[in-house]
């Protein structure tokens, strides 16, 4: 079981390690014990995992128990029931007469196959968690071949049901698939089970060597398929037979090495010729990585400017010393991401931020909820100080002292005799402090370490990049390369590691303040200097995270449509998810311009976003709460922008309440008290909302006339628009580059097209639409 008290090193190691296939174990011939099974969730462990007639040693038993816990965690996260143990009553049948599809491997790797097999052939899709559950016997009348018999397995059935079964007599496999990788599943015992069987098999050690070598794959594609591959220079140390004597292909040069040392002259000549060749085209950077079937795509990556011939050559020489036989060092062109043109090329726009000041305690029907509400606030004159049971004035603006402040607050709570059931915050700056206070008081909450991880944007991405699974698909698929920035030297280092164009933002920022697209190294340095000068502390721009400092990060710019996913999690289970679409931003800024809810994506695409958001939260250790995850949907699937470990801001709570009848604030309060929120698992929206944000820099004149607060509120009260005001008109008048949004104006409709047309007409009538704020363009994604 996973303890939610703290994000322990064991939990962090498990989520950040490579797949189980990358570790030595009983299947791979190693001698190590598995990592402790700190998987999210709880299940029975007193099940019959021993196989009669085939006893296992202590080490092998530990691995079997480990894989069983992994299976239960995967099932639980998918919302499926726990495996039932019926091994005390063996299954009987007609050996050889039935279909028996058998898999030996990591449950997380093959879960989707197992579940689908359970639907198409109930009871015949079997998962073996140990080689001891299988027996290989000579096949009668077929010399040199063997039959594979199954003594014990987990069988799968429709509805995600699974059972731990013994088979007497044993079932004969009619198809066998083994997870062959660099560790368990690719070792001697597993490989031997798959060899020379009478039944078809889906993998072998030989096939893994053929398919997992990136260089071999490129060579075959280029030579035999005529497929364009990135311009590549490869240094291969004692390459496998298929690569020896290879002539390369278009844009691909192979240099065979008989030794790893004394190759400096050869490497410098080859690298120099490659970097000056026309094969690289317009590429400005090259990537240097290792390639081998052993690495399975999990190699280190280093980026260097194309002009730095000496640095590239030195890096290759250093990596050559680490090569084993049949491994290679690749130098390849970095292909920059495609840039879509922006219609009209509007001028650079101001940044936006978000601020929520209301403190409410209401039911879904907007009725007062009779409960004791206690508020901690830095402002002694805060309007909510007169609306709560207990008001504690405490300065929490210096968040680098959160641990000390949490202890002091806990003492104040105890001194006042307050009996608390929960504690939560929806203000970005106070999330880590809240988790620390919950830890001090023994209240339910995601661990402080998880909150810290999600709060710091570069740590989030870099941690998830290391999360190679389990469970699968791993959250590393959605993470984006980035570099933290605290000095000018960091900027210089980052532009060599992160492909440009990129995005620079504040590590602890909120509302897109300070977020900017940067095209080259000069723009990176200029933006870093500008932020360091203008935004030094909380007093320079309250409420955007400067209490945590003004460090920044540079991350890769990802093309795609932008979306928000708001999740409700309870004890590691996904209870509900709400997906919304965002309109195009006003580059080089990333101000939110427009939004649509529910999402107009196809159901399978929206489901991809939900699962990506859920996996990323679990990967950071966020198990309990309401979280907002910002993603982009690309041609290669969802990519993470950032995780906000609190409920969605701006208009999102109101929109979700209006469309789905679910109050995220109430859900967050219930989770904080250890109560499972009563939310529908598959909520259906009552209609659509499409909205645009209003900016003082663009709309000051109309906000004082046709679109004044009074006018918009009157339209809202009549049900013609949904008006959300984020700040006062006076507070919103800041320099455009660091501007926060003033409001959101939305229209409802039975379809996104009708809601969009209503909103466009409204914005044209009120004067919100204009040449410098083209609402039609911002709504174009919602067609």
pLDDT tens track for 554-568 = 999 999 999 999 999
Q: Which residues contact 104 (CB under 8 A, 6 or more apart)?
A: 128, 131, 134, 176, 177, 178, 179, 185, 190, 193
**What token pair was written down for 106?**
């990591």
Q: For the segment 245-273, what is each residue's pLDDT rounded down to a tens digit? A: 666 677 888 898 888 888 899 999 999 99
Q: What is the mean pLDDT of residues 2-9?
A: 30
**Rounded average pLDDT over 575-591:** 92
Please state, for a pLDDT cut of 90, what percent of the chain lies above it.
52
Average of pLDDT values for 102-108?
90
Task: Calculate the average pLDDT of the chain.
Answer: 84
Residue 752: predicted pLDDT: 94
pLDDT mean over 198-224: 78
The residue-averaged pLDDT of 350-364 equals 42
- Listed range (248-262, 585-599, 681-695) with the worst mean pLDDT: 248-262
Rounded Cα gap, residues 65 and 34, in angstroms: 9
147-175 pLDDT, tens digit each: 999 999 999 998 889 999 999 999 999 99
Token output for 507? 């590590």
pLDDT value of residue 371: 55
Is the model more confident about 772 or about 202? 772
Tens digit of each residue's pLDDT (9 = 90 or more) over 522-539: 999 999 999 999 988 888
Q: What is the mean pLDDT of residues 177-201?
A: 69
Q: What is the pLDDT of residue 381?
A: 85
Confidence label for 294 from pLDDT (cuts 50, 70 and 90):
low
Residue 502 above 90 pLDDT?
A: yes
pTM of the predicted protein model: 0.61
Q: What is the pLDDT of residue 188?
A: 64
Q: Which residue has the higher pLDDT, 224 or 490?
A: 490
pLDDT(298) > 70: no
Q: Region 734-758: what's the mean pLDDT?
A: 89
pLDDT at 7 over 70: no
Residue 633 has pLDDT above 90, yes or no: yes
pLDDT given at position 182: 40
In sequence order, which residues have a C-beta less than 8 Å from that of residue 719 and are 6 or more positions away? none
Predicted pLDDT at 733: 72
pLDDT at 120: 84
The predicted structure's pLDDT at residue 671: 94
| Residues 6+ away with beta carbon under 8 Å from 68 | 47, 49, 83, 129
Give the 3-state secondary structure of residue 712: helix
Convert 356-370 into a string of H (helix), E (strand) and C (coil): CCCCCCECCCCCECC
- Average pLDDT on 707-722 reads 94
Residue of higher predicted confidence among 574 and 208: 574
SS3 562: strand
* pLDDT at residue number 238: 86
pLDDT greater than 70 at residue 23:
no
Q: Find the helix or strand (DSSP H, E) in which 563 lies.
A: strand 561-570
Which pLDDT band holds residue 483 (cuts at 50, 70, 90)? Answer: very high
CB-based contacts of 126, cutoff 8 Å, min separation 6:
100, 101, 102, 103, 150, 153, 154, 155, 156, 171
User: What's the pLDDT band for 47 if we cut at 50, 70, 90?
Assistant: very high
Higher per-residue confidence, 760 vs 219: 760
Tokens 């995005």 belong to which residue?
Answer: 503
pLDDT of residue 429: 86
Which pLDDT score is estimated for 19?
Answer: 33
- Which residues, in sequence order, are bridge partners of residue 332? 232, 287
Residue 356 has pLDDT above 50, yes or no: no
Task: Say yes or no to pLDDT of 360 above 70.
Answer: no
Q: 248: buried, middle or exposed (CB in 10 Å: 19+, 13-18, 0-12)?
A: middle
């Amino acid at each position: 079981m996973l303890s939610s008290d703290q994000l322990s090193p064991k939990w962090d190691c498990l989520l950040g390690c490579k797949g189980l296939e990358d570790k030595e174990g009983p299947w791979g011939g190693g001698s190590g014990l598995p990592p402790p099974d700190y998987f999210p969730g709880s299940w029975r462990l007193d099940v019959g995992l021993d196989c009669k007639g085939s006893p296992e040693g202590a080490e092998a038993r530990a691995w079997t128990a480990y894989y069983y816990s992994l299976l239960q965690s995967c099932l639980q996260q998918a919302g499926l029931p726990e495996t039932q143990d019926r091994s005390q009553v063996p299954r009987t049948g007609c050996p050889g007469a039935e279909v028996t599809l058998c898999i030996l491997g990591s449950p997380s790797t093959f879960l989707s196959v197992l579940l689908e097999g359970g639907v198409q052939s109930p009871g015949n899709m079997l998962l073996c968690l140990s080689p001891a559950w299988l027996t290989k016997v000579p096949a009668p009348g077929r010399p040199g071949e063997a039959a594979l018999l199954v003594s014990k397995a987990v069988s799968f059935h429709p509805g995600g049901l699974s059972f731990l079964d013994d088979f007497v007599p044993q079932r004969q496999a009619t198809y066998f698939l083994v997870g062959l990788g660099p560790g368990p599943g690719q070792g001697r015992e597993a490989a031997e089970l798959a060899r020379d069987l009478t039944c078809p098999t889906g993998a072998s050690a030989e096939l893994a060597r053929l398919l997992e070598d990136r260089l071999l794959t490129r060579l075959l594609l280029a030579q035999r398929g005529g497929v364009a591959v990135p311009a590549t220079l490869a240094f291969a140390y004692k390459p496998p037979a298929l690569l020896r004597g290879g002539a390369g292909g278009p844009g691909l040069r192979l240099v065979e090495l008989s030794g790893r040392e004394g190759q400096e002259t050869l490497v410098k000549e080859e690298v120099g010729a490659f970097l000056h060749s026309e094969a690289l085209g317009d590429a400005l950077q090259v990537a240097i990585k290792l390639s081998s079937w052993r690495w399975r795509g999990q190699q280190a990556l280093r980026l260097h400017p194309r002009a730095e011939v000496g640095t590239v050559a030195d890096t290759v020489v250093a990596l050559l010393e680490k090569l084993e036989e049949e491994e290679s060092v690749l130098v390849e062109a970095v292909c920059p991401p495609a840039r879509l043109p922006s219609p009209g090329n509007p001028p650079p726009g101001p940044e936006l931020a978000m601020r929520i000041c209301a403190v409410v305690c209401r039911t879904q029907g907007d009725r007062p909820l009779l409960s004791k509400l206690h508020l901690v606030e830095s402002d002694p004159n805060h309007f909510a100080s007169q609306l709560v049971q207990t008001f504690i004035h405490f300065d929490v603006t210096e968040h680098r002292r959160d641990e000390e402040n949490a202890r002091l607050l806990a003492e104040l709570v105890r001194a006042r005799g307050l009996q608390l059931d929960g504690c939560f915050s929806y203000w970005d700056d106070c999330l880590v402090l809240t988790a620390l206070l919950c830890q001090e008081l023994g209240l339910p909450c995601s661990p402080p370490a998880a909150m810290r991880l999600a709060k710091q944007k570069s740590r989030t991405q870099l941690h998830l990049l290391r999360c190679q699974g389990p469970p699968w698909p791993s959250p590393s698929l959605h993470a984006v390369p980035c570099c933290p920035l605290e000095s000018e030297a960091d900027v210089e280092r980052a532009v060599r590691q992160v492909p440009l164009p990129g995005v620079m933002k504040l590590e602890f920022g909120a509302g897109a303040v300070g977020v900017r697209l940067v095209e080259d190294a000069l723009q990176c340095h200029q933006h870093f200097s500008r932020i360091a000068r203008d935004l030094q502390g909380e007093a320079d721009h309250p409420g955007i995270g400067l209490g945590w400092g003004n460090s920044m990060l540079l991350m890769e710019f990802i093309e795609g449509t932008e979306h928000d996913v708001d999740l409700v999690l309870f004890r590691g289970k996904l209870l509900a998810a709400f997906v919304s679409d965002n309109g195009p931003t006003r580059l080089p800024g990333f101000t939110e311009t427009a939004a649509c809810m529910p999402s107009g994506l196809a159901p399978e695409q929206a489901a991809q976003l939900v699962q990506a958001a859920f996996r990323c939260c679990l990967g950071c250790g966020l198990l309990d709460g309401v979280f907002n995850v910002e993603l982009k949907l690309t041609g290669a699937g969802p990519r993470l922008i950032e995780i906000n470990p609190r409920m969605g801001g701006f208009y999102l709570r109101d929109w979700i309440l209006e469309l789905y009848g679910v109050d995220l604030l109430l859900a967050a309060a219930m989770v904080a008290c250890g109560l499972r929120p009563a939310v529908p698992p598959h909520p259906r929206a009552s209609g659509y909302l499409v909205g645009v944000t209003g900016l003082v820099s663009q709309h000051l004149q109309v906000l004082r006339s046709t679109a004044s607060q009074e006018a918009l509120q009157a339209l809202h009260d009549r049900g013609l628009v949904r008006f959300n005001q984020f700040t006062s008109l006076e507070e919103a008048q800041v320099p455009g580059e660091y501007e926060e949004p003033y409001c959101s104006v939305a229209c409802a409709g039975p379809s996104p097209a009708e809601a969009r047309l209503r909103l466009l007409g409204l914005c044209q009538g009120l004067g919100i639409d204009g040449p410098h704020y083209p609402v039609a363009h911002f709504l174009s994604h919602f067609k």
